[in-house]
Amino acid sequence: MRVHGAWLTDPGVQAVLAMLAEGGHQALIVGGAVRNALLGHDVSDIDIATDARPERVQQLAKAANIRAVPTGIEHGTVTLVVAAVGHEVTTFRRDVETFGRHAVVAFADNIVDDAARRDFTMNALYVDAAGNVIDPLGEGLADLAAGRVRFVGHPDDRILEDYLRILRFFRFTAWFGAPDAGVDADALAACAEHALGVEGLSRERVGAEMRKLLAAPNPAPAVTAMQTAGVLAHLLPGADARSLAPLVHFEAGRVPDWRRRLAVLGGKDVAEALRLARADARALDVLVTASRDDAPAAVLGYQFGADLGASALLARAALTGYAPSDGWQAELARGAGATFPLKAADLMAAVSGAALGARLKELEARWIASDFALTRAELLA
């Protein structure tokens, strides 16, 4: 089997592969790039694996006038810069000892050892410079074709190497798992067994994984499995996945928004638990609050804009089980286009200070309650 694409024929990639091969070493692209290429998805990050030791990689780069940066040399990674683009080259490795958040590794000489320490079988696939696909474990291609997300070897061993792999398992299930393949039973049991381990992960790592998971076209089955395994409760105490499937249904082909999906999950202190950026935390707060009240679509559009208002309305529908009323999109747009006819300067002759803001807010509330009908003159009167 062979793969093709501009990512493979890129001059920088080919230069690095040729440099290693001409030095007498194996040079293979591995992991996500191979998986995505086989699935017909976009390829972005390209990781290169080799049997050359880091010092040897640096020697070859120097001889080829390629800049080498020891970005993770203790883990065997050297970044080679070709035409201002960095290419990560990592020596084959095998695990010696694991601690749940990192592992002690030793360099390896063969591809089988390197493949055996990777997380999922569909990520243990390699491609040479000509595009030939190599499946050292003999499982990756079959699992990828069937949409089966499985750990390499025993799931417990892979999870103990890094508890983040629990979250990655559910993310990969959401993105690459076939609906009829279900969730791998052995992996799910191992995730349940080691669920407590996710509490030791940094909130930044957890937040990044959850954002990616919830951005999948339909994350509901994977998140439901996460709740069943007890993992969700350790990440977001009080969260409930039951409204996620209805939300995906009501979204009806809209662009997935992980914040909208997170809002229906709920849970205590979600923004802090996932260390969300300030803007995302504010949007999430709006969605949680607005989806749990009964403000009309036009009011949501006026208060939050058409996009955020739509998310709030869809989240409310998922939580209540009632589809938005007919014409809700037009109502959102009407509210989003409405402009309050008064400004603070209009009231300054009659009121000032803190009372000015309170009066303006009161009049705006009256205007909203009138379905945006009160005129400037009526409000001033």
* Same domain? 195 vs 258: no
CATH code: domain of residue 183 = 1.10.3090.10
How far apart, in Å, do the first and last CA atoms of the chain sit? 78
* Same domain? 132 vs 247: no
Among the listed residues 102, 103, 104, 105, the one whose alpha carbon sits nearest the alpha carbon of residue 114? 105
Cα 172 to Cα 97: distance, rounded to the nearest angstrom: 25
Task: Name the CA radius of gyration of the chain, rounded.
Answer: 27
Tokens of 322: 């009632």
Sorted by sequence, the CB contacts under 8 Å of residue 114 that are 6+ apart come out as 30, 49, 92, 93, 94, 108, 136
pLDDT of residue 175: 97
Cα 262 to Cα 268: distance, rounded to the nearest angstrom: 12
Tokens of 337: 């286009």
* Same domain? 134 vs 15: yes
C-alpha count within 13 angstroms, C-beta hemisphere, residue 1: 14
Backbone angles phi, psi at 322, to 5 degrees: -110, 125
pLDDT of residue 105: 67
C-alpha count within 13 angstroms, C-beta hemisphere, residue 346: 14
Cα 48 to Cα 26: distance, rounded to the nearest angstrom: 10
* Same domain? 298 vs 334: yes
Among 235, 258, 281, the domain boundary falls at: 235
* Same domain? 30 vs 71: yes
Type of residue at 115: A
DSSP-derived 3-state class of residue 98: strand
* Same domain? 88 vs 197: no
Full residue range of the structural domain in which residue 133 is found: 1-146
* Same domain? 214 vs 309: no
pLDDT of residue 104: 61
Type of residue at 257: D
User: What's the whole-number mean pLDDT along residues 115-137?
Assistant: 96
Tens digits of per-residue pLDDT, 310-319? 999 999 999 9
pLDDT at 272 over 90: no
Mean pLDDT of the chain: 93
Tens digits of per-residue pLDDT, 40-60? 999 988 999 999 999 999 999
pLDDT of residue 350: 80
- The structure's pTM equals 0.89
For 49-63, 82-96, 293-307, which range has the lowest pLDDT when averaged over its residues? 82-96
CATH code: domain of residue 92 = 3.30.460.10
* Same domain? 108 vs 242: no
User: What's the whole-number mean pLDDT along residues 282-311?
Assistant: 94
Going by pLDDT thresholds of 50, 70 and 90, the confidence category of residue 252 is confident
DSSP, res 222: H
The burial of 365, by beta-carbon neighbours within 10 Å (0-12 exposed, 13-18 middle, 19 or more buried), is given as: exposed
For 44-48, 101-105, 301-305, which range has the lowest pLDDT when averaged over its residues? 101-105
Among the listed residues 183, 188, 198, the one whose alpha carbon sits nearest the alpha carbon of residue 232? 198
DSSP-derived 3-state class of residue 120: strand
* Same domain? 286 vs 311: yes
DSSP-derived 3-state class of residue 325: coil
Q: 77-82 and 67-72 as β-strands: parallel, antiparallel, unpaired? A: antiparallel
Cα 196 to Cα 163: distance, rounded to the nearest angstrom: 9
Ramachandran area for residue 18 (φ above 0: left; ψ -120 to 50: alpha; else beta): alpha
* Same domain? 66 vs 94: yes
pLDDT of residue 268: 76
Among 91, 111, 146, the domain boundary falls at: 146
Among the listed residues 111, 123, 87, the one whose alpha carbon sits nearest the alpha carbon of residue 14? 87
Tens digits of per-residue pLDDT, 60-83? 999 999 999 998 888 899 999 999
pLDDT at 267 over 80: no
User: What's the whole-number mean pLDDT along residues 337-361?
Assistant: 89
pLDDT of residue 103: 55
Among residues of the chain, what percentage have pLDDT more than 90? 83
* Same domain? 160 vs 138: no
* Same domain? 2 vs 128: yes
pLDDT at 148 over 80: yes
Among 169, 201, 235, the domain boundary falls at: 235
Q: How many domains does the chain have?
A: 4
